[in-house]
Amino acid sequence: MARTDTGKWVARAAATGGSRTYRGQRPVKWYSSLALICILGVALVWYSRYERQHPSSAGQPAVGASWYAALSFDICGTVEPALPATPTVKGKTPGLTSVGSGVIHIAPRVSSEAGANATLGLLASEYPGMALTSTTVRFPGKTSAGPTVGRTFTLGQKCPKGTKDAGKPGIVQAVEWTTPTAKTSIAAGDPPSLKLADQQEITIAFLPKGVAVPRPPGTAVAAMLQAVSAASSSSSGAASSGAVTPPAGSGAVTPPAGSGAVTPPAGSGAASSGAASAPARSSGTSGSSG
């Protein structure tokens, strides 16, 4: 049988395979593949280093982070006192705590408190006596302290006598200002799911629908900024000064070195003389639309 055209082509290729012309050709494809591998390797190393130095916000706060935020409660028109420091239960202190003066410390100790798990709901669940769901809220304390303390308020429940909004049904809300300079507020669709952030301002409220939710008091914001400044100073000067940061939940806020600031007692709501100045509050504070 005569050879086909394909057979002839294969035969010619085989006959010239060891020729001087073939041996003299450079393996361009091989060099190109090697160069591509090198480029990809360098790019991956660079990206890995970048990711390590600029972690994604989705995974923040990571275990070991140390953030501060301001928190207040408004129940039926009553702005509650600053939340006292988180008590130690069975010798353990959670990673999301109140340090007093209206300041919360966001310092995850385990992965279950970090990243997307660092929420307002988790903070409430780790604070004895506090409650927060999409339909209920309770500011912790003794009921003898007033008609809004130590009592659970449920969606649609009327505010009690002795309060500014007495007789009016309320709704549970959590409103945030992302930074101390933010002009507008953001209402959380589901209060317990509100993710905590650094230098955030939060108000948990039980108010009639349509009533503006007030911003945390200026004293709480000033105390928060002082805590942030103190943490920054402590971090940068700890090696030379030997400064010791107070344990989370102790209620102590360390003032910056040389500021002459006096730390206010936990829960007093008073800002120290050396505290950073809080942004001015206007009478027309924006709030949630409910």
Report domain extents, the chain: 58-217
Predicted confidence at residue 27, as pLDDT, reads: 75
Residue 48 has pLDDT above 60, yes or no: yes
Mean pLDDT of 116-120: 97
Among 71-75, 93-97, 138-142, 281-285, name the one with the lowest average pLDDT. 281-285
Percent of the chain with pLDDT over 90: 57
Predicted confidence at residue 249, as pLDDT, reads: 45
131 pairs with which residues across the strands?
138
pLDDT tens digit sequence for 199-239: 999 999 999 999 999 999 999 999 999 999 999 888 776 54
Contact 85, 100 (CB under 8 A): yes
Mean pLDDT of the chain, nearest integer: 80
Residue 286 has pLDDT above 50, yes or no: no
CA distances from 185 to 67, 240, 288, 290 (A): 20, 41, 7, 12
Provide the token pair at 3.
């050879």
Instruction: Using pLDDT thresholds of 50, 70 and 90, give the confidence band for residue 40.
Output: confident
Mean pLDDT of 99-113: 96
SS3 89: strand
Provide the token pair at 164.
């500014």
